[in-house]
């Protein structure tokens, strides 16, 4: 029912005044002064978390603006009870005075809505599902704070405009609400109020001019225009990232405070090291030395109906910490909004409560179910959203139990989530023979035609990660569905699909799909990260595809621009793929590859480095210029591998020496001595062709057999015994090598 209004300061207001030492007469305005004549603010349902936080769903009737109509939206309160140093211990959170979203030690924050619905349709947010997006009047915004204090927590002393709607698209009412709230001493201090925006560029400057004491939070979510246009499509189209960042910098100059950049972390979408690098460059661009560092607040994605349609997954704590570490390593201040996790039981992600209410619409007198695990069940069925969360959070054994228990209720999102969880699990022993796993695959096949793009890509990636071939019929159906969805795949989905097909060795049954996939990868090459480019090329090489000159040219040219940011493993995979695809890049690209490999030399594993050198020899890396990239890399690689020669497998040693020989590159005397010490011993144990290979390598890399005269005699004796086992052409090569090494006479004497 509607909240009653009172003519005097409420008990909650008096409690606040006593607790915070405020003047009770200056406490929050009473309800009757907040609401205009005839207006109604009704709380339809509210829930608390037992810790001072909670959520409420409300309805507004505004006879002046919308006679006969009502608007519904939601408010959330997040409270903190731990000390700052305890927060750091428990959550590893960096407390920072420039964090507008941090909660004071004694208080709580009310997250208020500015619109009933939202026109911007962010891909992970449920607010966009509520249409139309109606502007809430200023009094309804203020009333949310009053209701939060009365029903959820009297210690609310901060307001954040991070609920439903885009505040700056309802600027006049939001501005009036800010003015009304700041009449109270609880909210008059600087930064007690924060406005969060997707980025309404012209209004950001207005906010700085009209309310310089209000903190700004920009919902960024992506470090580049391409990805942001997918995550925040409507906002990105209207206000491109370049112009938006200029407006944000102007706001900072006007108010003298660094804004907060909110970044919802979506695993597999915007959490790569390349994304961290781009984000750092975006936020640091144009900043004067010594100026305050940009501040990023990482927001863990809370599962929503909108996000499930795209297959988004909750990040793990490790993924959040890892990305935070990447940002800090690049000079940014970064925290994780751990309080988001506390909102999950309350369906507190933006728009969740209202979107769920639209589907359920229980009678107003009916007490809503508390979203506990046991109570989110109707007629023995767990709600779809809860089941998705349980599948993502389960161990392998727990997940298979859920599959068995809820098999008939599994939808296309569930089967995708289940396969992803299994693929990421560290324990998959016995999985292939488990009847519950086979049941999951049967259910996946039944739902194949219902798969959305992200779910479809997840299924394929999971099978590749598990190394499980489900049969040609299953894959044929999956490829047919994927063909129709390729245009909606994320760039990472495209790369992961190529990688998975290679892992599953899907040719020739996947040829049609692979051809289309290669074309999509070429068309969207500019959106691929280094690891995605590397995986795409590796997959094509592993599958022995012939993607065409235009496809390879697009991928190689994009790679050229990103090479300085590539990791050692990506470089090694790319090199191997180029050789497997018989693609010869130009000399400039080869030099860039050599330079990037040199910079990552300490990160290469020994085997990776040997394989890379072999490929460089196949691709004819130039090292004619002593100070050039090729010569510098080869010298550094020779020094490192010579020091590790004793640990290398004999086969890898052969590859290494032959690569140097093919390149006509002779390491220094010290390196050669170390290599020969590991490589030139015990010739009698070598197979005939291995012996021939080494004799020819001796010719190319010094013209003599290393070691004492006794070593020469041993090689001559081995040649006498082994060379006759080769064909005539190989015997001729062997005799020529013996002559060049001065061993021909010794070999004849041995006879």
Q: DSSP code of 474?
A: H
Q: Which residue has the tokens 């990260």?
A: 529
Integer Cα distance of 682 and 552 in angstroms: 45
**Catalytic choice (64, 86, 95, 644):** 95
DSSP lists the bridge partners of residue 110 as 77, 159
Minimal CA–CA distance to 443: which of 396, 406, 475?
A: 406
501 is catalytic: no
End-to-end CA distance of the chain: 109
Integer Cα distance of 540 and 438 in angstroms: 29
Give the three-state DSSP class for 300. strand
The H or E element spanning position 139 is helix 138-151
Minimal CA–CA distance to 549: which of 584, 508, 575, 580?
A: 584
CB-CB contact of 187 with 193 (8 Å): yes
**Catalytic choice (34, 350, 456, 506):** 350
Cis peptide bond N-terminal to 746, omega within 30:
no
Integer Cα distance of 359 and 423 in angstroms: 33
Instruction: List Cβ neighbours of 108 (8 Å cut-off, separation of 6 or more).
Output: 52, 53, 77, 78, 79, 80, 153, 155, 156, 157, 158
CA 129, 130, 132, 136 dihedral sign is negative
**C-alpha separations of 74 from 111, 115, 161, 443, 517 in Å:** 9, 10, 12, 37, 43
How would you write 369-428 as a 3-class SS string?
CCCCCCCCEECCEECHHHHHHHHHHCCHHHHHHHHHHCHHHCCHHHHHHHHHHHHHCCCC
Integer Cα distance of 112 and 56 in angstroms: 10
Integer Cα distance of 425 and 434 in angstroms: 15
Integer Cα distance of 451 and 152 in angstroms: 40
Minimal CA–CA distance to 543: which of 584, 570, 593, 508?
A: 508
CA 240, 257, 263, 325 dihedral sign is positive
Minimal CA–CA distance to 19: which of 143, 144, 183, 149?
A: 149
95 is catalytic: yes
How many CB atoms lie under 10 A from the CB of residue 141? 28
Integer Cα distance of 143 and 56 in angstroms: 12
Minimal CA–CA distance to 159: which of 168, 149, 171, 172?
A: 149
Integer Cα distance of 408 and 397 in angstroms: 19
Q: Phi/psi at 116 (nearest 5 deg)?
A: -95, 90
Q: Which residue has the tokens 């209202």?
A: 354
What are the structure tokens assigned to 176, written together? 């009036």
Integer Cα distance of 227 and 238 in angstroms: 15
CB-CB contact of 408 with 440 (8 Å): no
How many CB atoms lie under 10 A from the CB of residue 306? 22
Q: DSSP code of 302?
A: P
CA 264, 269, 275, 276 dihedral sign is positive
Residues assigned a catalytic role: 95, 350
């Amino acid at each position: 029912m509607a909240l009653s209004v009172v003519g005097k300061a409420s008990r909650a207001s008096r409690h606040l005044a006593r607790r915070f030492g405020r003047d009770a007469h200056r406490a929050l305005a009473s309800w009757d002064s907040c609401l205009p004549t005839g207006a109604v603010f009704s709380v339809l349902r509210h829930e608390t978390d037992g810790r001072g936080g909670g959520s409420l769903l409300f309805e507004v009737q505004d006879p002046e603006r919308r006679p006969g109509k009502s608007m519904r939206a939601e408010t959330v309160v997040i409270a903190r009870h731990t000390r700052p140093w305890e927060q750091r211990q428990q959550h590893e959170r960096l407390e920072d005075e420039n964090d507008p979203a941090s909660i004071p030690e004694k208080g709580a924050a009310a997250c208020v809505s500015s619109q009933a619905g939202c026109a911007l349709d962010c891909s992970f947010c449920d607010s966009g599902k509520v249409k139309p997006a109606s502007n809430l009047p200023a009094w309804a915004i203020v009333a949310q704070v009053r209701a939060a204090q009365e029903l959820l927590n009297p210690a609310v002393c901060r307001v954040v405009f991070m609920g439903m709607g885009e505040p700056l698209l309802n600027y006049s009412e939001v501005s009036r609400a800010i003015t009304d709230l700041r009449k109270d001493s609880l909210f008059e201090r600087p930064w007690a109020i924060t406005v969060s925006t997707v980025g309404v560029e012209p209004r950001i400057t207005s906010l700085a001019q009209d309310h310089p004491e209000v903190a700004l939070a920009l919902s960024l979510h992506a470090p580049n225009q391409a990805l942001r246009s997918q995550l925040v499509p409507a906002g990105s189209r209207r206000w491109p990232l370049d112009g938006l960042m200029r407006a944000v910098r102007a706001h900072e100059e006007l108010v003298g405070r660094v804004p907060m950049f909110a970044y919802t972390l979506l695993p597999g979408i915007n959490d790569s090291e390349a994304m961290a690098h781009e984000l750092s460059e975006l936020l640091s661009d144009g900043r004067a030395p010594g100026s305050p560092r940009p501040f990023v607040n990482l927001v863990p994605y809370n599962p929503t109906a909108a996000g499930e349609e795209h297959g988004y997954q909750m990040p793990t704590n490790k993924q959040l910490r890892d990305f935070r570490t990447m940002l800090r390593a690049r000079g940014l201040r970064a925290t994780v909004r751990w309080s988001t996790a506390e909102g999950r039981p309350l369906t507190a992600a933006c728009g969740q409560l209202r979107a769920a209410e639209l589907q359920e619409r229980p009678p107003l007198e009916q007490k809503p179910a508390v979203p506990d695990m046991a109570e989110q069940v109707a007629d023995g069925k767990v709600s779809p959203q809860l089941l998705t969360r349980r599948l993502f959070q389960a161990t392998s054994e727990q997940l298979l139990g859920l599959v068995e228990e809820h098999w008939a209720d599994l939808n296309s999102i569930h089967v995708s989530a289940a396969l992803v969880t299994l693929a990421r699990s560290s324990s998959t022993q016995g999985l292939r023979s488990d009847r519950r796993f086979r049941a999951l695959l049967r259910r996946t096949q039944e739902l194949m035609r219902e798969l959305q793009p992200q779910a479809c890509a997840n299924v394929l990636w999971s099978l590749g990660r598990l190394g499980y071939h489900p049969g040609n019929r299953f894959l044929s159906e999956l490829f047919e569905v994927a063909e129709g969805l390729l245009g909606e795949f994320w760039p990472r989905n495209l790369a992961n699909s190529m990688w998975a097909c290679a892992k599953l060795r899907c040719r020739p049954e996947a040829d049609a799909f692979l051809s289309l996939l290669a074309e999509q990868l070429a068309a969207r090459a500019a959106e691929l990260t280094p690891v995605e480019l590397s995986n795409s090329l590796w997959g094509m090489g592993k599958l022995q595809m012939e993607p065409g000159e235009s496809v390879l040219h697009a991928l190689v040219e994009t790679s050229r621009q990103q090479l300085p940011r590539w990791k050692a493993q990506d470089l090694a995979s790319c090199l191997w793929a180029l050789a497997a695809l018989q693609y010869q890049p130009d000399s400039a690209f080869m030099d860039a590859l050599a330079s990037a490999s040199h910079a990552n030399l300490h990160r290469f594993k020994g085997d990776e480095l040997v394989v890379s050198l072999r490929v460089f020899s196949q691709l004819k890396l130039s090292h004619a210029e002593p100070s050039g990239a090729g010569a510098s890399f080869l010298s550094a690689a020779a020094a490192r591998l010579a020091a590790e020669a004793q640990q290398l497998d004999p086969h890898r040693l052969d590859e290494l020496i032959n690569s140097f020989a093919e390149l006509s590159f002779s390491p220094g005397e010290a390196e050669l001595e170390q290599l020969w010490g590991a490589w030139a011993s015990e010739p009698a144990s070598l197979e005939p062709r291995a012996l021939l290979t080494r004799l020819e390598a001796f010719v190319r890399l010094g013209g003599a057999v290393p070691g004492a005269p006794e070593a020469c005699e041993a090689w001559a004796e081995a040649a006498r015994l082994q060379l006759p086992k080769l064909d005539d052409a190989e015997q001729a090569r062997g005799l020529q090598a013996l002559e060049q090494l001065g061993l021909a006479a010794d070999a004849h004497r041995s006879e």
